[in-house]
Amino acid sequence: MEPQNQQRFFTERDLKETIERLFNSVCEAFARSDAAGAAIYFSDRPEMLKISNGNVLNGKEQMIAYWEKKIKDLNGMAITIHINALHRINDDYLWMVADEYISSPNSQTKAVFTNLLIWEDNQWKILLDHTTYLNP
């Protein structure tokens, strides 16, 4: 096994911890209102897709523009993620379902999301994110 590829062969526990760290990094970027910082955890592939309450965003450029409009007025935002299911499809793809809790000084929101992650550039990245806000 090549050393650069060893990272993707995690135990199930290590895999979950790795994905939790990835999402914690995304949440920290949002807490800084840093849409581009959150986007680095998404795939660079042209087929990367973000669906948010019916808004279909093709690629990082559209996603970042959408996020920048959404987060500019959310000072003090905090996001926490709870992974409900994480399944290895094969060595290069993961599928997951999670709850997302978003709080700001004036609101509390819950969302559910499904992600497809891909092993890219020696790390897991989000290839598809489908999020539904339950109380927008």
Q: Please, which residues have CB within 8 angstroms of residue 66's CB and are 6 or more apart in sequence? A: 50, 52, 55, 57
Q: How far apart are CA 96 and CA 83, in angstroms?
A: 7
pLDDT at 106: 81
Residue 27, CA atoms < 13 Å, CB-side half-sphere: 17
Beta carbons of 105 and 31 less than 8 angstroms apart: no
105 pLDDT tier (thresholds 50, 70, 90): confident
Task: Give me 109's structure tokens.
Answer: 């929101």
Per-residue pLDDT of 117-129, as tens digits, reads 999 999 999 999 9
Beta carbons of 125 and 118 less than 8 angstroms apart: yes
In this structure, how many other beta carbons lie within 10 angstroms of the beta carbon of residue 72?
Answer: 10
The arithmetic mean of pLDDT across residues 13-39, rounded, is 93
Q: How far apart are CA 102 and CA 119, in angstroms?
A: 27
pLDDT at 104: 82
Task: Write down the residue that tokens 């935002």 correspond to.
Answer: 77
Per-residue pLDDT of 29-56, as tens digits, reads 988 889 999 999 999 999 999 999 889 9
Q: Where are the alpha helices (DSSP H) in the chain?
A: 12-31, 35-39, 59-71
Q: How far apart are CA 75 and CA 125, in angstroms?
A: 26
pLDDT at 112: 96
Q: What pTM, to 2 d.p., does this model score?
A: 0.87
The arithmetic mean of pLDDT across residues 51-72, rounded, is 90
Per-residue pLDDT of 76-88, as tens digits, reads 788 999 999 999 9
Residue 1 has pLDDT above 50, yes or no: no
Which residue in 65, 79, 76 sits closest to 110, CA to CA?
79
pLDDT at 73: 66
